[in-house]
Structure 1
Amino acid sequence: MGTSEFAVPSLTKIIEAGYPVIGVVTQPDRPSGRGKKLKPSPVKETATGLGLEVFQPQRIRDEDAIEVIRNWGADLIVVVAFGQILPPEILDLPRLGCINLHASLLPHYRGAAPIQRAIMAGDKVTGVTTMFMDAGLDTGDIILQKPVEIDEDMDCGQISDLLAQVGAEILIDTMAVIASGSTPRRKQDNHRSNYAPMLTRADEKIDWNRDAVAIRNQIRALSPHPAAYTGLGEHQFKIYKSRVVDRDAVGTPGQVAAITPEGFQVQTLKGILEILEVQRPGKKRISSHEFLQGFRILPGDMLG
């Protein structure tokens, strides 16, 4: 079971390892683009290309969906970035259990946005975890884990791609130990847990009354999607890439401090941030240098 691009390496690795896949469960096709044409999930596209049976229930909790899964008679259910919570009726079906690949070192960052929340927090290390699923939200017994360093210049898209590959590898290791009958399992320490809630529109707006490092982490965490944004007057624009050029400077938060060959610098509560890549509504993502050729920003202007 999986939906997003994050799950594709796992599906591919399972097939390459020779495990027989009875079927693939993914989310229904969704409208996409300006024409709102239905678009299949990345997992569906991959599964179809591999000749696998694909099932796309609207709600995995519905009895007809449960019946389809029951009739497949799988020994093991693997879940990677599926997007729906499995009911107990499905968790209890396979004789070897249901396992999940999660993009954090559990019990840290349980929930829907572990990668983004780790970057926002300025963490230097994240990782991947495989676990046996239970009725809770990412609370099951841990099987295997692998830490991964977060390079300070990597954005969410890059880190997600890296974790997807590392996660696919430990998923195969996890399936191997389950098949051997000697699966390690470790209870999570709930006292060390924290929650990574789903992103909201409020997470995307830049508050210049924060320090430069925190705002840069916000921009990294939301790039390439949905992207952090700010505005000048009536004009909003997204920011995809930035760098801290001064960690200690103080001044008026949100004020444009300087125009540079590569972009423009903005004063934060503490420190100055140089904006390097942006996007206006309906336009493509471009360098700030190119952006400034067609959009007037001057030192002293206030962003917000």
Structure 2
Amino acid sequence: MGTGEIGIPTLATLLDSKQQHEVVAVVTQPDRPAGRNLEVRPSPIKAFAQARDITVLQPEKLRTDAQPILALEPDLIVVMAYGQIVPKLILQLPKIACLNLHASLLPRHRGASPIHAALLAGDSETGVTVIYMDEGLDSGDILLKERIPIFPRETGGQLHDRLAQVAPNALTKALELLQQEAAPRSPQDLNLVTYAPKLIKENAALDWHRSAEDLDRQIRAMHPWPGTFCWWARKDTVPQRLRILEAQPRQGDGYCGRPGEILHVGEEGVEIQTSHGSLLLCQVQLEGRKPMAAAEFARGHPCLKGTFLK
């Protein structure tokens, strides 16, 4: 059961282990409008499963449309980035277990956006946790964790792709332990629980009254989606949305200007004052334009120094 692209390597691993596991069906979300033109598209998991001639089920609501799943009578259910709460009647269905692969080191970062949350928090490591599913939000007992370090300049997209490759190994280990009847079952420490709620576009707005370090984390965590932005305007013009694609923090206690003020323009980029330290913009995209180096943006808009981003 899955919807997001992150689950494709895990599904591929299960399909390629035909002698050990038979995938009887893939359950994914219904086709939804997506992209700039809001065309109705299948989920990445559906497209992959259909290419491999696997039966695909797309219930609108699991609670009311569960009968085709119940009829499968599976030994095991594996869930990763499905996007709906799985009800009790399905959790109790498999003979062996209903497992969830969650892209964080639970109980830290329960919820819909664990990868972004790890980067926003400045965590030094993350991973994939395999849990026995219950009716709560990522609250089931832990079977195992597969840990990886978070690299210093890593983006949300890069970490997503690495975790997608970690998940198959985590599941393989979990299935081996279950087969050997040696799988542990450890309750989550409720004192260590944090939450990673679903991202909305408003999370992408930059606030220059925050520190350069915090803004750098936000820019990296939100890249490529939903992206981060601020507002820029020449004198007496309508503000335009400016997407920030890449930046570097410049640490320092010296306060050289007001938050959002453009301090310096050069070949390295455009330097912006924050509440603590400054942020060097390296790659930007003005609304309706193509991505460009911040230095190129500055050359096309003279007299930036001393003006403000909001």
Residues 198 and 265 from structure 1, CA distance in 2 versus in 1: closer, same or farther, beyond 3 angstroms? Answer: same
Per-residue deviation, 1:6: 0.7
Residue number among 41, 44, 51 corresponding to 1:42 in the alignment: 44
Aligned counterpart, 1:256: 262
Per-residue deviation, 1:35: 3.3
Q: Could you tell me whether the CA contact under 8 Å between 1:101 and 1:167 is conserved in 2?
A: yes
One-letter identity of the residue aligned with 1:218: Q
Aligned counterpart, 2:283: 277
Per-residue deviation, 1:241: 1.0
* Distance (Å, rounded) in 2 between the aligned partners of 1:27 and 1:290: 42
* Distance (Å, rounded) in 2 between the aligned partners of 1:131 and 1:273: 40
Residues 35 and 227 from structure 1, CA distance in 2 versus in 1: closer, same or farther, beyond 3 angstroms? Answer: closer
Q: Secondary structure at the match of 2:195?
A: coil
Q: Could you tell me whether the CA contact under 8 Å between 2:247 and 2:282 is conserved in 1?
A: yes
* Distance (Å, rounded) in 1 between the aligned partners of 2:187 and 2:223: 34
Residues 242 and 97 from structure 1, CA distance in 2 versus in 1: closer, same or farther, beyond 3 angstroms? Answer: same
Unaligned runs of 5+ in 2: 234-238
* Segment of structure 1 superposing worse, 223-232 or 279-288: 279-288
Aligned counterpart, 1:29: 31
Aligned counterpart, 1:186: 186
* Distance (Å, rounded) in 2 between the aligned partners of 1:282 and 1:106: 40
* Distance (Å, rounded) in 1 between the aligned partners of 2:68 and 2:302: 58
List per-residue Cα deviations over 1:92-128 (Å, max 9, x = no partner): 1111121000011101111111111111111111111
Q: Secondary structure at the match of 1:72?
A: coil
One-letter identity of the residue aligned with 1:236: R
* Distance (Å, rounded) in 2 between the aligned partners of 1:297 and 1:171: 56
Residues 237 and 50 from structure 1, CA distance in 2 versus in 1: closer, same or farther, beyond 3 angstroms? Answer: same
Residues 136-285 of structure 1: pairs in structure 2 closer than 5 A: 136-233=136-233, 234-250=239-255, 251-285=257-291
Identical-pair percentage: 40
Residues 189 and 212 from structure 1, CA distance in 2 versus in 1: closer, same or farther, beyond 3 angstroms? Answer: same
* Segment of structure 1 superposing worse, 268-277 or 176-185: 176-185
TM-score by structure 1 length?
0.95
Aligned counterpart, 1:114: 114
Per-residue deviation, 1:201: 3.0
Say whether residues 1:7 and 2:7 are aligned partners.
Answer: yes
Per-residue deviation, 1:293: 4.5
Q: Secondary structure at the match of 1:14?
A: helix
Unaligned runs of 5+ in 1: none
Q: CA RMSD in A?
A: 1.4
Q: Secondary structure at the match of 1:299?
A: coil
Residues 8 and 268 from structure 1, CA distance in 2 versus in 1: closer, same or farther, beyond 3 angstroms? Answer: same
Per-residue deviation, 1:183: 1.3
Q: Secondary structure at the match of 2:259?
A: coil
Figure out how many residues of one structure are paired with residues of the other and give that number. 302
One-letter identity of the residue aligned with 2:24: I
* Distance (Å, rounded) in 2 between the aligned partners of 1:146 and 1:297: 51
TM-score by structure 2 length?
0.93
Q: Could you tell me whether the CA contact under 8 Å between 2:2 and 2:81 is conserved in 1?
A: yes
Q: Could you tell me whether the CA contact under 8 Å between 2:249 and 2:278 is conserved in 1?
A: yes
One-letter identity of the residue aligned with 1:8: I
Residues 92 and 4 from structure 1, CA distance in 2 versus in 1: closer, same or farther, beyond 3 angstroms? Answer: same
* Distance (Å, rounded) in 2 between the aligned partners of 1:292 and 1:259: 7
One-letter identity of the residue aligned with 1:47: A
